Amino acid sequence: MGQQEKVSTSLAGAVSEGISASLAAVDAELDRRYPGDPGTRQPVHTVYVPGNAFGAGTIRSWGDQALAALDEHAPDAASFAAVLGLTDDLAEDVHGRVRAKLEREPIEDLRVDFEDGYAGVDEDQDAARAARLISEAYRNGTAAPYMGIRMKCMESAVRDRGIRTTDVFLTGLLENGGLPDGLVLTLPKVTYPEQVSAFVRLLEAFEKAHGLDAGRLGFEIQIETSQSILAADGTAAVARMIGAAEGRATGLHYGTFDYSACLGVSAAYQASDHPAADHAKAIMQVAAAGTGVRVSDGSTNVLPVGSTEHVHEAWRLHYGLTRRALARAYYQGWDMHPGHIPTRYAAVFAFYREGFEAAAKRLSAYANHAGGDVMDEPATAKALSSYLLRGIDCGALDTAEVDALTGMDRAALDRFAAPRRGDLTASAE
């Protein structure tokens, strides 16, 4: 070892203590507002099914319809790859994984819809039936990992109906065995943070009425209006909405068509890649960063139905929009039709398969201080491990192959993906 340097200081310890004391409130605020990602699985999509149409066989029916679309319009790996532009080295793997996913778990997140898509004549009955069927699905193993409802919004014209449907649905779940772990509620058309606060009060009242733990019920906030992005005073209302949720917000979901129409975008140009959509989602993304609230992209209304030529065009559009969203860190989106599911999974699987080896090697080099041709920082190691975990969760990657290239098990990847605040130098054990 070389010569030890003399270390001298000029400040008394009281200086550091005083600074820490002055920042105590800020430290607490950072911990409260920015706890980081929860580290749980995020579904790659959300499927909406009208409350009057939802049935016990809905999930399996969507999977079967998606498989039938593949069989009719792209019956083998080569034809599917040709439609989407997949490289030869990905074609068989992606096609095989898509088919396996459609057979095993065709829907990752399902919302029984009592808002825009609902056309029932007895909402009470449909909400109670949805609660019973969802409870049965979780008991018998046929549920999607995440399921719940989208109720009507907090605007005056439909507020009472939305509150009642929420009550009927949640009460039905409790009467049929309890609240499932994968329960998700979606509050649509939020324009003011006060509407979020009102929904929080509703959930608090329900929890107290049934002796549930405070904060047990969370919800997504659907961003569909210009006022939710830019408030009248020029501030980003969506950031205040996250605060108004008092820790209950789990997601921000972009509503492509309502938001576009709100801005006057003509129907022919309403799409998730419109500049107005990019602006809204960028604001949502920044507002949600570090809060533990996840951002979801919207949907396309171009359905893959009809002739093979039209189906292929719709598939290419959907695949391209999904890949575009993934590159922008929108890891979830909406799918409106069973025919969208094959290209949803194809895009997701290709995204993770293409970058898997490079990400795994970079993370391994960082963890082992081995160097390489890219100088990564702790925050990049966090992003690399999160990327690999997302790939595993959706079925794009296998745990064994990630372990083989990184030398890390799930627990080690989790430590890199969700380090303690100020501890982004965590290393694998």
pLDDT digit string (tens) for 93-118? 999 999 999 999 999 999 999 999 89
Residue 374 has pLDDT above 60, yes or no: no
CA-CA-CA-CA dihedral for 42, 45, 49, 55, to nearest 10: -60
Q: How far apart are CA 162 and CA 243, in angstroms?
A: 22
Note the pLDDT of residue 418.
76
- By CB neighbour count within 10 A (0-12 exposed, 13-18 middle, 19+ buried), where does 263 fall? middle
Query: HSE on the CB side for 10, CA within 13 Å?
Result: 0
- For the chain, give every residue range classified as CATH 3.20.20.60: 45-354
Query: HSE on the CB side for 360, CA within 13 Å?
Result: 25
Residue 34 has pLDDT above 50, yes or no: yes
Note the pLDDT of residue 367.
86
Residue 147 has pLDDT above 90, yes or no: yes
Overall average pLDDT of the 204-227 stretch: 97
Residue 183 bridge partners (DSSP): 147
Residue 377 has pLDDT above 90, yes or no: no
**Number of CB atoms found within 10 A of residue 83's CB:** 20
Residue predicted with more confidence, 375 or 106: 106
Are the CB atoms for 229 and 283 separated by under 8 Å? Answer: yes
Alpha carbon separation from 20 to 11, 17, 29, 424 (Å, rounded)? 14, 5, 14, 21
Question: To which CATH superfamily is domain 45-354 assigned?
Answer: Phosphoenolpyruvate-binding domains (3.20.20.60)
At 417, is the pLDDT very low, low, confident or very high (cuts 50, 70, 90)? confident
Note the pLDDT of residue 428.
38
As a whole number, the mean pLDDT across the chain is 94
State what percent of residues in the chain have pLDDT above 90.
90
Note the pLDDT of residue 379.
84
Q: How far apart are CA 197 and CA 368, in angstroms?
A: 47
Q: How far apart are CA 238 and CA 228, in angstroms?
A: 5
Note the pLDDT of residue 427.
40
Q: Report the predicted TM-score, pTM, of the whole model to 2 decimal places.
A: 0.92
At 370, is the pLDDT very low, low, confident or very high (cuts 50, 70, 90)? low
pLDDT tens digit string along 247-288? Answer: 999 999 999 999 999 999 999 999 999 999 999 999 999 999
Instruction: Identify the weakest region by mean pLDDT among 1-10, 145-154, 399-408.
Output: 1-10
Residue 349 has pLDDT above 90, yes or no: yes
Note the pLDDT of residue 426.
40
DSSP state of 425: T
Identity of the residue numbered 210:
H
Q: How far apart are CA 8 and CA 29, in angstroms?
A: 34
pLDDT tens digit string along 289-336? Answer: 999 999 999 999 999 999 999 999 999 999 999 999 999 999 999 999
